[in-house]
């Protein structure tokens, strides 16, 4: 199982309807199968996520964030890990807003 504890990630790609960018930094914590993170940067003032990680390192999570427009946004995301040649983790994410327009998208974040 991949352990995400004390890992930091940044977005390298996102759909146009997403709010994370290369300026967004995620600080992950993990205890047993529970993953949490706080994040900010770019369009996001403050964000939090909570999820469950399985044996393959896939994360099923929910997130909430306040953006620079002062709006509270919520969503759900499924992340699949890829281990890069340098040993760092890349997460391929499929997400959907549960607030706003309820649209969905794809993003990639990589370990810093």
pLDDT tens digits in sequence order for the chain, 112 residues long: 799 999 999 999 999 999 999 999 999 999 999 999 999 999 999 999 999 999 999 999 999 999 999 999 999 999 999 999 999 999 999 999 999 999 999 999 999 9
Q: Per the confidence metrics, is the pTM higher than 0.75? A: yes
Residue 32 DSSP one-character state: T
**Of all helices (H) and strands (E), which one includes residue 67?**
strand 59-67
Any idea how long the chain is? 112
Token duo for residue 23: 């300026």
């Amino acid at each position: 199982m991949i352990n995400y504890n004390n890992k930091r990630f940044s977005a390298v790609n996102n759909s146009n309807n997403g709010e994370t960018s290369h300026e967004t930094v995620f600080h992950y914590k993990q205890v047993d199968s529970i993953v949490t993170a706080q994040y900010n940067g770019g369009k996001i003032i403050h964000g939090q996520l909570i999820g469950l990680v399985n044996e393959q390192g896939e994360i099923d999570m929910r997130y909430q964030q306040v953006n620079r427009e002062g709006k509270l946004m919520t969503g759900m995301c499924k992340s699949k890990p890829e281990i890069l040649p340098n040993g760092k983790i890349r997460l391929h994410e499929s997400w959907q807003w549960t607030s706003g327009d309820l649209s969905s998208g794809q993003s990639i974040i990589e370990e810093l």
